A and B are shown apart, each in its own frame.
Chain A
Amino acid sequence: EAGVVQSPRYKIIEKKQPVAFWCNPISGHNTLYWYRQNLGQGPELLIRYENEEAVDDSQLPKDRFSAERLKGVDSTLKIQPAELGDSAVYLCASTRGANREETQYFGPGTRLLVL
């Protein structure tokens, strides 16, 4: 079974430019998560989807960040415009359902550097 796929793995952009990250969760996983991980810190949740519905986006900076999960499968996270402080690793994860004993499966992340 393929794991969570993310692309690109690395991205370098100049500030004020837009950037997008793509995630393909494990097949059959209804719940999808986007996290941001700053250097030396643990991952922080940005948004959680149940199928195509964003059920927790309280930590998503909505002035510049947006996300979508059309058809409840793949998801895209966008930043426009990017700022220097957005340099981080962006992680995508998925779970099959809402059972409290579910396991989150993480992708390898996209490492973003904003110059």
Chain B
Amino acid sequence: DAKTTQPNSMESNEEEPVHLPCNHSTISGTDYIHWYRQLPSQGPEYVIHGLTSNVNNRMASLAIAEDRKSSTLILHRATLRDAAVYYCIPSGQGAQKLVFGQGTRLTINP
């Protein structure tokens, strides 16, 4: 499994964009990059995933570096409900094998 490095915590303001970085320099060529988040007192929930190209969905955007050694999760307009721990998970087996690190605790100020 690829080793990941994420900031322990980040803080942003409501209605502003948030860029959550993740370094995964040992990622293999076939590993998908998954992002999950965990709101307080809830189980993790899927946010987005990608392989090589940037991806967009209703929740967020995922920007993947050309060498795939890093990626950035982008929340375009943060709300208070986006306060959570965000996990970046490279996985060669997709959802079958998700190895969670400590993630980034995101705080959103009103």
Interface residues, chain A, with chain B CB atoms under 8 Å away: 4, 31, 40-45, 48, 56, 91, 93, 95, 98-109
Q: Does B110 contact A (CB under 8 A)?
A: no
Q: Is the CB of A95 within 8 A of B87?
A: no
A43–B92 Cα gap in the complex (Å)?
18
A98–B27 Cα gap in the complex (Å)?
21
Q: Interface majority SS on B: helix, strand, loop or mixed?
A: loop
- Determine which residue in A56, A98, A99, A101 has the highest number of CB atoms from chain B within 10 A of its CB, and name it: A101
Q: Which residues of A contact B98 (CB under 8 A)?
A: 45, 104
Q: Is the CB of B102 within 8 A of A104?
A: no
Interface residue tally of chain B, by bracket? 20 to 34
A13–B97 Cα gap in the complex (Å)?
31
Q: Is the CB of B96 within 8 A of A106?
A: no
- 11 further contact pairs, Cβ within 8 A, besides A91-B43, A93-B44, A102-B96: A42-B87, A42-B100, A42-B103, A43-B100, A48-B96, A91-B44, A93-B43, A100-B95, A101-B95, A104-B44, A108-B42
Interface residues, chain B, with chain A CB atoms under 8 Å away: 32, 36, 41-46, 49, 85, 87, 91-103
A100–B96 Cα gap in the complex (Å)?
7
Q: Is the CB of A106 within 8 A of B32?
A: no
A45–B96 Cα gap in the complex (Å)?
10
Nearest CB of chain A from residue B8's CB, rounded to whole Å: 10
Q: Is the CB of A100 within 8 A of B93?
A: yes
A101 in complex: contacting residue of B49, B87, B92, B102, CB < 8 Å: B49
